[in-house]
Amino acid sequence: MRCEVCGRKIFGKPLRAIIEGAKLTVCNECSKHGTIIWEETKPKAVTPKPKATLQPLRTQSKKTTETTVDAGLELTENFDSKIRQAREKLGLSHEELGKKINEKVSVLRKIETGKIKPDNVLATKLEHALKVKLLIPASEEKAPQTKIPKPSTRELTLGDLIQLNKKRHGERGG
């Protein structure tokens, strides 16, 4: 039997653990990353199950709170520095903030470094805990888009795009 996290062969008793919301059969080393739910006494015959579609990892807590968040909101551009500055201003460590909003420290650190973006539910929790504004109404046009001239008589072709790209970056031989 192999660990469903690291893929190593499991010697001894395989363990069942909940890691980031998924129930997995894991080795002793990988069980440290989650909560052990039971120990298997002997390997059972595995019946093939249809493969489930992969779902993106959710960053919200295990307890689902009835929070309604307007879908027409988006994160401010500098959400990562706002969160870090507000946390430091309140004198909170990552661990203290994590306990306060029931979120993993690793997730909070990744948010503060800009590696991941919090979903609207987590952003709302951070807003309340840190007393900052992170969600703003979604703008119609996020960034100024480059206008591509399009002749009114025909559709834009791939050749038109290549020529525009050459003009933008200067004529290069190639």
Domain 73-137 listed as CATH 1.10.260.40: yes
Domain locations along the chain: 1-43, 73-137
pLDDT tens digits for range 87-123: 999 999 999 999 999 999 999 999 999 899 998 899 9
d(CA 31, CA 22): 12
Q: Which of 80, 142, 135, 154 is nearest to 113 (CA)?
A: 80
What's the pLDDT at 148?
A: 59
Answer whether 0.85 is exceeded by the pTM.
Answer: no
